[in-house]
Amino acid sequence: MSNTLTIALAQINPTVGDVDGNTALVRAARAEAAGSDLVVFGELLLAGYPPDDLVLKPAFLDRIENAVSDLAKETAGGGPALLIGAPWRREGKLYNAALLLDGGVVAHEGLKFELPNYGVFDEKRLFSAGPLPRPTPFRDASLGVMICEDMWKQDVARHLANAGADVFIVMNGSPFELDKLGQRHWVATNRITETGLPLIYVNLVGGQDELVFDGSSFVLDPHGKVSIQAPSWEQAVISTSWQRANNGGWRCETDSVSATAGGLEAIYFAMTVGLRDYVEKNRFPGVVIGLSGGIDSALTAAVAVDALGPEKVHCVMMPSPYTSTESLEDAAGTAENLGVTLDTVSIEPAMAAFSGMLEDVFSGHTADVTEENIQARARGVVLMAISNKLGHMLLTTGNKSEMSVGYATLYGDMCGGFSVLKDVYKTTVFDLAHWRNRVRPDGLLGPAGRVIPERVITKPPSAELKPNQTDQDSLPPYDVLDAILMGLVEREESPQDLVTQGQDAATVRRVWRMLDLAEYKRRQAPPGVKITSRAFGRDRRYPITNRFTGTA
């Protein structure tokens, strides 16, 4: 009987649908972990996560099964076994599976029992639930393999422990959201406390559409102490040595704890990784950004440079008669700090052209928000034209506060293919700008030092669509607005709840109404990186036609 095991945690970045590429990543990780007994990967790794309706295509599942067969055969000649995630067909049903490839065959199949059906997850639509899994025999150990959600409830862990499991291994596709790492550790510790077994947690890393995976894999001993903490936001293959104790249990002999990102740093890395992978996995040569001299576009440009490098970021300033000298200077200063190309294209001729074109139709009507929206749409046309000509993807620059209340123009500043700030409130935008001016973590491609001019952060925000305009002409102060939105959106509180907490009743009712009315705009917005627990899109699905007022 062997009393030792070497298990490698493979925290890698798959691409949904790229079965050949994902298989190559598995082979590379196996080669890197050549001295290990077993290499453990994340959930649905061969397909990429989440595969959504790709798993409804028989041809896709055929490719997956062929890849599994090829990988299994490669284990026949020795070297590490593989514990890998894949969609798996059995008896006319489709399962989310953990497959042990060893000795040239699929030695064991574990099927996910708990299928999440909340937030961004809708696995019950795609997969059948497996039975409570039995332990996976491997060498002289008994592995209690769980797939992501299986760990978040008690039944699977208790069942595996009662059936004789020695070590829990959890294969995950756990998307990032703020403070998620602490939640994972807390849940894992609960399973350990209930069973007395150590736990290996392996997560994916990288961006997939709106979702971004932070990695942050870990190992906890039977007392909940962290033995291994993998880094956040980067691929890693980490070898761990295990020893059978005198009492028959297993303990991790390796001690390696990397620093993990939290708070503003975690948000910033989520944005950069999400943007980088969206651009690179969709094969865009770079991005184009409308740089207004305001804080949202400046922060978006900083994230883009940090994610892609300055040579792949093309900025455009589009002044109108209402654009201030300060904004021209601030856009130029931001571009200079970041080292990006900045073109200037005036929209004044377009404004004059539209005014002449619409003169007869608008006769007898006074100027209003219509003329403001024409400016935003003229800018959208310019940016989309540059995007079409150069092949660069257009980034939108609106933040969550604006998207919540509809302070954005359809087919104008909402034009674009991806949004970095979609799930970031305005108050957090200010905090991130201050943070990035102080800090440049390793791994970013932008310059150190101040990247956003101080005046961009300190001047009153303005769309500059009419003389002397500020955002607070139309919106409550952002600290007030964000506090109300966090209650209505993140916590699903009622207007009365917020009034009881001290918010002004009229302001709460006004924000509630704006939030509801803007749903039709959000349905037409581009995808953006999920940061919070209630991101617009997959997380929060409300009807456009909706007469519920939230009041009695």
- Say whether 180 is catalytic: no
| Alpha carbons 245 and 477: distance in angstroms, whole number | 61
What are the structure tokens assigned to 132, written together? 């409570």
Contact at 8 Å (CB) between 150 and 114?
A: yes
Catalytic residue among 112, 281, 521, 530: 112
Rounded to whole angstroms, how far apart are CA atoms 161 and 222? Answer: 13
| Alpha-carbon distance values, 546 to 158, 370, 516, 525, 542 (Å) | 44, 25, 8, 19, 8
Residue 56 gets which letter from DSSP? G
Buried b (16+ CB within 10 A) or exposed e, 176-212: bbbebbeebbebbbebbeebebbbbbbbbbbbbbbbb
Tell me which residue has tokens 């990032």. 176
List of residues 6+ apart from 489 with CB closer than 8 A: 404, 515, 534, 540
Active site residue 312: no
d(CA 420, CA 52): 22
Strand-pair partners of 456: none
Exposed, middle or buried, 223 (CB in 10 Å: 0-12/13-18/19+)? Answer: exposed
From 43, 123, 210, 265, the catalytic residue: 43
Nearest one of 49, 38, 45, 52 to 8, comparing CA atoms: 38
Which one is catalytic: 114, 123, 148, 281? 148
CB within 8 Å of 288: residues ≥ 6 apart? 314, 315, 316, 383, 386, 387, 390, 392, 393, 394, 395
- Cα of 473 vs its chain's centroid, Å: 33
Would you call 112 a catalytic residue per the annotation? yes
Residues that are catalytic: 43, 112, 148
